[in-house]
Amino acid sequence: MNIHANDGISQSGVDALADFGFTLTTTNVAQEQLVNYINENNIAGILVRSATTVRKELIDACPGLKLIGRGGVGMDNIDVAYAREKGLHVINTPAASSSSVAELVFAHLFGAVRFLYDSNRNMPLDGETKFKALKKAYAGGTELRGKTLGVIGFGRIGQATAKIALGLGMDVAAYDPFMDEATVAVDFFNGQSVDINIKTRSFDDVLAQSDFVTLHVPAQDKPTIGAAEMAKMKKGAGLINAARGGVVDEQALVNALESKQLSFAALDTFVNEPTPAVKLLMHPSISLTPHIGAATNEAQDRIGTELAQQIKDLLG
């Protein structure tokens, strides 16, 4: 049976699919040529990440397709309900990248509270001639221990982010409309683990009480955090979006940074990917990455093997 990974797949996934007896192709086919490729090569399952879309038109045009797999969490690039209505299996790997995204949140957060996002821009330019001035400019850093991290969306990634925060000695203020509480297991290198029960709070309470707010919600029809929500946050708070472009109102964010309502922002996702707004890219108070939350070797290995196992279970 033929499987096509249009946006690539890790070697662990390649090996696992081969062991399970599937024939895998990984050629990146242009979106407009994908229907012909699927039909001409008798593709039974297509695997995508975020670059390729699988919409109603493709599903209707490929009657031999039996499975659609998304390497990652969000499936907003797939017409999931329609595919399942047509009898196709639709799978993803919601747990595989949780730790990777959570660690990226803290990479941004550590960098932001010590101004690394700005220091790394200015040290190569002025470090030799203005060292003392830069030292003074970046001297007012903040420790994370003892601060409150607001987590909007307390699913797998939100809880993985909370684990790191708790391990650092932070308080966690969580909001999730679908749960009242969750037990988070903070694991240590030696196999020990501490379970901490976290009761979710109201959305407004999380905004008002948090020193930093991180978003872990699916794609939305309108921003989860806009001008009104930013106004409710602590003055000087920080905002991190490693979820989806559009869950933060980008113009409102720029305004909040300019007015000093927020001290910094960190963005891994953008409204206009792959061409983010220049006003974001050039802003001195925004830490930036190009949508790499799940882009670690470990996460990609887990994604590949989890997809292969699910394909075997469904089509093998």
Shared domain check, 59 and 172:
no
Shared domain check, 272 and 125:
yes
Contact 242, 269 (CB under 8 A): yes
Contact 162, 184 (CB under 8 A): yes
Shared domain check, 109 and 121:
yes
Distance CA 109, CA 240 (A): 8
Shared domain check, 276 and 196:
yes
pLDDT of residue 73: 86
Contact 251, 188 (CB under 8 A): no
Shared domain check, 273 and 130:
yes
Q: Which two tokens stand for residue 163?
A: 């684990």
pLDDT of residue 50: 85
Catalytic residues: 244, 273, 291
- Which pairs from 278-281 meet CB under 8 Å and 24+ separation? 279/250, 279/254, 280/250, 280/253, 280/254
Shared domain check, 258 and 151:
yes
**Mean pLDDT computed over every residue of the chain:** 97
pLDDT of residue 144: 98
Three-state DSSP state, 260: coil
Shared domain check, 158 and 78:
no
pLDDT score of 153 more than 90: yes
* pLDDT tens digit sequence for 232-273: 999 999 999 999 999 999 999 999 999 999 999 999 999 999
* pLDDT tens digit sequence for 287-304: 999 999 999 999 999 999
Shared domain check, 248 and 140:
yes
CATH of the domain at 168: 3.40.50.720
Q: Give the residue carrying structure tokens 């978003």.
A: 215
Shared domain check, 238 and 107:
yes
pLDDT of residue 107: 98
Shared domain check, 131 and 206:
yes
pLDDT of residue 266: 98
Residue range 66-93: mean pLDDT, rounded: 96
Distance CA 245, CA 249 (A): 9
Residue range 138-161: mean pLDDT, rounded: 97
pLDDT score of 224 more than 90: yes
* pLDDT tens digit sequence for 96-131: 999 999 999 999 999 999 999 999 999 999 999 999
Count structural domains, the chain: 2
Contacts (Cβ under 8 Å, ≥6 apart) of 274: 290
- Give the pairing type, strands 262-267 and 212-215: unpaired
Shared domain check, 253 and 110:
yes
Provide the domain limits for residue 27. Answer: 2-94+297-315
Confidence of residue 315 (pLDDT cuts 50, 70, 90): very high
Distance CA 108, CA 130 (A): 25
Residue range 14-21: mean pLDDT, rounded: 97
Shared domain check, 303 and 281:
no
pLDDT score of 74 more than 90: no
Contact 96, 89 (CB under 8 A): no
Contacts (Cβ under 8 Å, ≥6 apart) of 237: 210, 211, 212, 213, 262, 263
pLDDT score of 316 more than 90: no
Residue-wise over 116-144: b if at least 16 C-beta within 10 A, else e?
bbbbeebeeeeeeeeeeebeeeeeeeeeb
Share of the chain above pLDDT 90, in %: 97
Amino acid letter for position 98: S
Residue range 61-87: mean pLDDT, rounded: 96
Residues forming beta bridges with residue 287, ordered by sequence position = 266
